[in-house]
Every structure is written in C-alpha cells, then in structure tokens.
C-alpha cells in the first residue's frame, strides 16, 4: 500500500483518525480515535452508551474477524413484558412502537452498552497506541466544544411522528444534562454553527482514560453511578447487567459477486441480507441497465423485498434462534428469487399492524494493508443521561419484537438484530473495497447498491456513494429526489406505490474506500457532513 485512508461522517473524527495514522498508528488505532470523537461530536449517533461491531483484517498477523460488541437486553427483561403495549411496527421494519413510547425514550429503552468494552478489546488485541492517548482528542472537543453541523441539527429537528417514535428533540430535553448541553438558556434548541460544549462528558472520558480500560464502566465507579441512576428512574439495567456483559469474536461470512469475494458480518448483524441481495442481482445483467431507470429500480425493488421477507422471517441472535443464512445465501435460493422477479411476480412485505436511523460508520485502511470497517450506534438515542456523566444511552429496546416466539423477540441478555453490515471486498487475495454505512434498515440495500455501482457500472468510489439510490424494505418503493419523475410515473403505471424523499442524498450514508494499484481513495456520502483523508 502506498497510502492510508480514513473516511467517516464527521470531519472532526476523521481528522483525529488521520492524525493517528500520521503518527504511525495502524488502522485499528485510527478507527478507535475516530470512534471516541464520534461519540462527542455526534452524540445521538454513537458513544460509550452504545454498541456496534468492528470488521478487522490484518494480513501480516493472519487476522480476519468480526469483533461484536452488540447491546444486550436487560437480564430482567421478559419476552411478554410489553405484549399489552403494542401499537404497530415502523414502515421500514426497524422498530416497534409501544404505548407512551416506553421502549423508545427513557430508561426502559436502554440495553446494556457494549461500545467501551469493544474499544478496549480492539486496542488490546489489534492496536498499538496508548489508551489515554487515543481518547485525548475526544476529551479536548468535549471540553472546548465544536460547531454544530448541518446533519446533526437536521436530525435533532426531524419530525418522526409519522412512524410513531418519539422525536429526537424530546429526547434531547428529557434529561437535565440534555437541557443544559443542547439548548440555549431561553430554552431554544442550539443551531447550526453554535458551539456545543459537554464538560460532564469530558470529565467522564478523562476518568476512563486514567483508568486504563473499560473496567471502570462495567465493574467500577461508573458502573455504580449508572446502576444507581437506573434504579432511581425505573430502568432495568443494574450492576449485574454491566458486570456480566460479554462481547464476542466471530469469523466473517462470505459471498461472491461477479468474481469479487465479499466478507461481512454474520447474524445478528445484517451482512447476510446484503449478500443475499447481491446474489439475487447477480442473476441479472445489471451493467446493461440504465442506472436509475424504471427497469433498474423495479428489479432492485423486487430483490430488496425478497431480501427483507427472508430477513424478517429469520433474523435474530444465533445464540437464541437458528438463523439459516447459509441456505438464504445459496445460489439456488437466489436463482429462485430471480426467477420469480423475471416472471413478473410481485412480492409483498408484511408489517406488524400496519428512515433514516441513528448510527455512524468508519472505514480505514493503512499502509500495511490492515483494514477496518466499523459500524457503531445508539440504535436510537434514549434521551437518558446520568447526571454528571454527559453521555446518552442507547434506546435499543424498541428494536426488539414485542411479540414472543419470534426470531427478534425479547429475551434476557439477548442481542437485538442489528442492521449493520461492515464489509470488506476482495479481488483475489487483496482487499479492494472497505465499506459500510449508518442507516438502519436501509444499510444493506445501500451498501449493496454502492458495490454494484463500482462493480457493474464501473463508478469511482465518490460516484458510487453519491449516485441516486432507492430502498425497498416495505411495499412502497422509496426513491431519492434525484430519481427522474418520468421513472416514478412509469413505476406507478406498472401498479407500484412510490414515495419520493425530499432528500437529494437519501437512504443510509455509505462511507467507502476503494483500493486500486496500491492506492486507496475514500468517499464520504454527501448526505452527511463527513470527509475522507488520505495519508502518504
């Protein structure tokens, strides 16, 4: 490799990671410095109250694995705990709406966080830098402040009432800390360009840096503060949840697409739906289609619906349920789906009684060829912040199925199905693409489309992440505002429901690196505020 590249949705975080690369750190060191900063400068998307997974490839060490630090349901949770509170499922299938949004906002919404243990484990097993050194940029930004960016403010002000979930605005003002940090003294929400300072978060990160690892969070003084706060506010997380938290390491699952070998995350991650979509689309001559044409959109939509139906039927924590992803990834299964599409059959996605989601991503490759694709998140923010700690907890309980007996149902200590699909593509034995995205149910369709853009349409990495996208995770074709109106009209004439997004760049936010001839080039999805930096 002749250079190193890092890309993520937040400029401050990318800069922190790039500085680590310039100082001789490897891809893992850079990703972790970036991740800590993301928790400060995009605190409703990720942070130490969240969870995620890191796809790690280190050829000289013979390492290729997924570090899973997913959130776990509280040990006091039960499959039928909210059976009498169900209202409906969101149209995109990402979550379930309950009465009074009890699983979406507040302390009952929180699952046991895994991010900090994930960061520590990654540094110990793969990294080279000092723990406190990696956290310094995040501490500085929390204490001194940073400018509120466009996408951050858009997310804060976004009306989510159509889905039935609590608005982020209400979550920001849920806690005393939130009202102090995110609002002016007169009660108005801070605006784009305003300085956001979070001294409580700075102090918490300093405590973590001095402690030398994550033990303070799961067994030490922070664990005590967290447990006491949850008890006082009716939450389910306690000292036992934190002390018994475990992460895992697993091998990636593999697929192939037109002579490209693709490694991605196994269940409960969503690598297999992304691969299944590619396997279906491989049965079509995608490159001969006009990109964004009615026929291109129709085939994509029908393939996405079939992927979604399979995901909804089978996705869950493999420690609790059987997830037959090998069968779903077989070429025979893909050919059967493709045959139905070619025959004009229209698939139907069912939802319980009747978007953009809250995550972030990092893609990195260093000069030694070490690669990281890391997706981490709050699932959605809960609004809950322990007084004096500064960081917001995840709101992941709303993503479990409140009906018992389903693959994604609630169970004590269970990991909820994740939409993340951090992916590395290989041409022969060498990595050629490092890719991933935030965006809930839209991640798998968006990542697959970007891979097709590069492989089938021969786009550059910037063209690929910027090209118009569609998603089909319900019975409506969701199109971005750059799909031509004539295409929309043609699809409607064929009997399809079409929903046009007002966003120019819509549906997940893919951040990717493409490697060609030993030179890496990165691209940040224009939907968000990010950037790519290459280091020679």
- Measure the CA–CA gap between 7 and 525, rounded to whole angstroms: 10
Task: Return the structure tokens found at 231.
Answer: 């008890």
| Residue 113: C-alpha distances to residues 73, 153, 396 (Å) | 9, 25, 10
Q: Give the CA-trace dihedral at 249, 251, 255, 256, to 10 degrees.
A: 120
Q: What is the C-alpha to C-alpha distance for residues 33 and 259, in angstroms, rounded to an integer? A: 34
Q: According to the model, what pLDDT value does residue 351 have?
A: 62
Is 525 a member of any domain? no
C-alpha gyration radius of the chain: 22
Residue 495, marked binder: no
**Following DSSP, what letter does each residue of 161-225 receive, concatenated?**
TTTTPPPHHHHHTSSHHHHHHHB-TTSPBP-TT-EE--HHHHHHHHHHHHHTSSHHHHTSHHHHH
Asked whether residue 415 is domain-assigned, the answer is: no
Residue 481 and residue 388: Cα distance in Å, rounded? Answer: 43
Q: Rounded to 10 degrees, what is the CA torsion of 208, 214, 215, 219?
A: 90
Instruction: Classify 93 as helix, strand or coil.
Output: coil
Is 163 a residue whose pLDDT tops 70? yes
Where would I find the beta strands (DSSP E) of 318-387? 358-365, 371-379
| Alpha-carbon distance values, 162 to 33, 91, 247 (Å) | 36, 9, 35
Residue 108: phi and psi, rounded to 5, are -70, -15
Q: What are phi and psi of 55, to 5 degrees?
A: -90, 115
383 conformational bin, left if phi > 0, alpha if psi -120 to 50, beta if neither: left
Tokens of 184: 């002016």
Q: Are residues 349 and 383 in the same domain?
A: no
Residue positions annotated with a catalytic role = 359
Residues 227 and 341 in one domain: no
Q: What is the pLDDT of residue 95?
A: 78
Dump pLDDT digits (tens) for 181-237: 999 999 999 999 999 999 999 999 999 999 999 999 999 999 999 999 999 999 999
Q: Which of 422, 426, 371, 424 is nearest to 260 (CA)?
A: 426
Position with higher pLDDT, 347 vs 161: 347
Residue for token pair 């966080």: 113
Structural domain for 22, as ranges? 4-247+356-399
The Cα–Cα gap between 140 and 145 comes to 8
Which DSSP string corresponds to 490-509? HHHHTT-EEEE-S-SS-SS-
Q: In this structure, are 338 and 365 located in the same domain?
A: no
The reply, when asked if residue 316 is annotated as ligand binding, is: no
**pLDDT tops 80 at residue 86:** yes
Q: How far apart are CA 80 and CA 95, in angstroms?
A: 16
Are 337 and 380 in a shared domain? no
For tokens 């992460």, the residue is 247
CA angle 59, 69, 506 (to 5 degrees): 85
What phi and psi values does residue 400 have, to the nearest 5 degrees?
-80, 150
Please indicate, yes or no, whether residues 268 and 388 belong to a single structural domain of this protein. Answer: no
Predicted pLDDT of residue 490? 98
Rounded Cα gap, residues 116 and 52, in angstroms: 10
**Chain-wide mean pLDDT for the chain?**
95
* 406 token code pair: 């389903």
CB atoms within 10 A of CB 290: 9
**360 three-state secondary structure:** strand
pTM summary value: 0.95
Same domain, 177 and 295: no
- Over range 295-318, report the average pLDDT: 96
Helices (H), 343-442: none
CATH number, residue 436? 1.10.246.130
- E strands of 225-348, at which residues? 248-250, 253-257, 260-264
Percent of the chain with pLDDT over 90: 91
* 488, part of any domain: yes
- Residue 350, classed as helix, strand or coil, is coil
User: Do 167 and 262 belong together in one domain?
Assistant: no
The answer to the question of whether 220 is labelled as a binding residue is: no
Residue predicted with more confidence, 95 or 21: 21
Say whether both 137 and 87 belong to one domain.
yes
Q: pLDDT tens digits, residue range 296-306?
A: 999 999 999 99
146: in domain:
yes
Under 8 Å CB-to-CB from 220, ≥6 apart: which residues?
Answer: 211
Residues 304 and 376 both lie in one domain? no
User: Is residue 213 domain-shared with residue 237, that is, in the same domain?
Assistant: yes
Over residues 8-35, mean pLDDT: 98
For position 357, what pLDDT does the model report? 54
Whether 407 is in a domain gets the answer: no
pLDDT tens column, 323-374: 999 999 999 999 999 999 999 999 999 865 434 456 899 999 999 999 999 9
With respect to residue 523, please indicate whether it lies within any of the assigned structural domains.
no
Whether the CA torsion 217, 220, 221, 224 is positive or negative: it is positive
How many independent structural domains does the chain possess?
2
**Helix, strand or coil, per DSSP, at residue 32:** helix
**Are 220 and 281 within one domain?**
no
Residues 28 and 170 in one domain: yes
Residue 126 lies in a domain: yes
């Amino acid at each position: 490799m002749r250079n190193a590249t890092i890309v993520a949705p937040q400029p401050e975080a990318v800069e922190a990671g790039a500085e680590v690369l310039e100082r001789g750190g490897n891809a893992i060191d850079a990703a972790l410095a970036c991740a800590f900063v993301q928790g400060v400068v995009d605190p409703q998307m990720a942070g130490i109250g969240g969870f995620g997974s890191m796809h790690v490839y280190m050829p000289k060490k013979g390492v290729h694995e997924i570090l899973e630090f997913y959130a776990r349901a509280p040990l006091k949770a039960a499959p039928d705990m909210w059976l009498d509170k169900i209202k409906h499922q969101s149209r995109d299938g990402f979550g379930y709406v309950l009465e009074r949004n009890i699983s979406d906002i507040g302390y009952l919404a929180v699952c046991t966080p895994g991010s900090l243990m994930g960061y520590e484990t990654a540094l110990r097993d793969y990294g080279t830098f000092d723990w406190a050194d990696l956290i310094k940029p995040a501490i500085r930004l929390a204490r001194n402040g940073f400018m509120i960016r466009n996408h951050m403010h858009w997310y804060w002000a976004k009306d989510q009432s159509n889905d039935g979930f609590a608005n982020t605005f209400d979550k920001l003002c849920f806690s005393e800390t939130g009202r102090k940090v995110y609002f002016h003294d007169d009660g108005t929400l801070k605006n784009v360009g305003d300085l956001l300072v979070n001294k409580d978060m700075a102090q918490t990160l300093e405590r973590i840096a001095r402690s030398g690892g994550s033990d303070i969070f799961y067994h030490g003084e922070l664990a005590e503060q967290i447990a006491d706060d949850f008890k006082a506010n009716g939450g389910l997380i306690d000292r036992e949840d934190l002390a018994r938290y475990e992460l895992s390491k697993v091998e990636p699952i593999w697929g192939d697409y037109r002579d490209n070998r693709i490694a991605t995350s196994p269940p409960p991650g969503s690598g297999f739906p992304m691969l299944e979509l590619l396997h279906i689309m491989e049965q079509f001559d995608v490159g001969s289609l006009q990109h964004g044409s009615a026929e291109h959109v129709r085939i994509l939509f029908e393939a996405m619906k079939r992927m979604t139906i399979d995901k909804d039927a089978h996705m869950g924590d493999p420690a609790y349920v059987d997830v037959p992803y090998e069968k779903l990834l077989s070429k025979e299964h893909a050919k059967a789906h493709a045959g139905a599409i070619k025959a004009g059959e229209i698939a139907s996605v069912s939802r319980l009684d009747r978007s953009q989601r809250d995550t972030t991503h990092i893609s990195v490759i260093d000069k030694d060829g070490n690669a990281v694709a890391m997706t981490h998140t709050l699932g959605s923010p809960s609004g809950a912040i322990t007084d004096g700690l500064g960081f917001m907890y995840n709101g992941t309980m709303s993503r479990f199925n409140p009906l018992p007996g389903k693959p994604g149902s609630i169970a004590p200590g269970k990991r909820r199905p994740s939409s993340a699909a951090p992916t590395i593509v290989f041409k022969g034995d060498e990595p050629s693409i490092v890719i991933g995205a935030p965006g809930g149910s839209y991640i798998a369709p968006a990542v697959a489309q970007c891979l097709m853009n590069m492989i089938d349409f021969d786009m550059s990495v910037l063209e690929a992440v910027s090209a118009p996208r569609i998603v089909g995770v319900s019975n409506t074709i969701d199109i971005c505002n750059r799909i031509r109106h004539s295409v929309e009209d043609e699809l409607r004439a064929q009997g399809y429901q079409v929903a046009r997004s007002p966003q120019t760049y819509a549906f997940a936010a893919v951040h990717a690196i493409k490697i060609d001839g030993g030179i890496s080039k990165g691209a940040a999805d224009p939907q968000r505020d990010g950037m790519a930096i290459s280091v020679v």
